[in-house]
Chain A
Amino acid sequence: MAKGRISNTIRRLRFDAGEMTQKDLAEKVGVTRQTIVAIEAAKYSPTLELAFQIAHVFGRPLNEVFMWEPD
Chain B
Amino acid sequence: MSWLERATLVQALRAVVIYLWFLARQRDLMASGALAGPDGLTLLGWEMLLLIIATVVVGIVIQIIATVFATVVEGESVAAIEDERDRLIEARATVKGFGVVGLGFLAAVLALWQGWGAVWAFNLLLAGMVASDILVNLLKFLRYARGG
Contacts and interface: CB of A to CB of B under 8 A. Distances in A.
Does B bind A? yes
Interface of A: 23, 26-27, 30-35, 37-38, 41, 43-47, 50
Contact of B79 (A23, A30, A43): A30
Interface stretch (B24-32, B81-89, B109-117, B128-136): B81-89
Interface of B: 1-2, 5, 74-77, 79-86, 144, 146-148
B147 A44 contact: yes
A10 to B, nearest CB: 14
Nearest to B5: A34
A43 B80 CA distance: 19
A32 B76 contact: yes
21 contacts: A26-B80, A27-B77, A32-B2, A32-B81, A32-B83, A32-B85, A33-B2, A33-B76, A34-B1, A34-B2, A34-B144, A35-B85, A35-B148, A38-B85, A38-B148, A41-B147, A43-B146, A44-B85, A44-B147, A44-B148, A47-B84
B75 A23 contact: yes
Nearest to B147: A43
B79 to A, nearest CB: 7
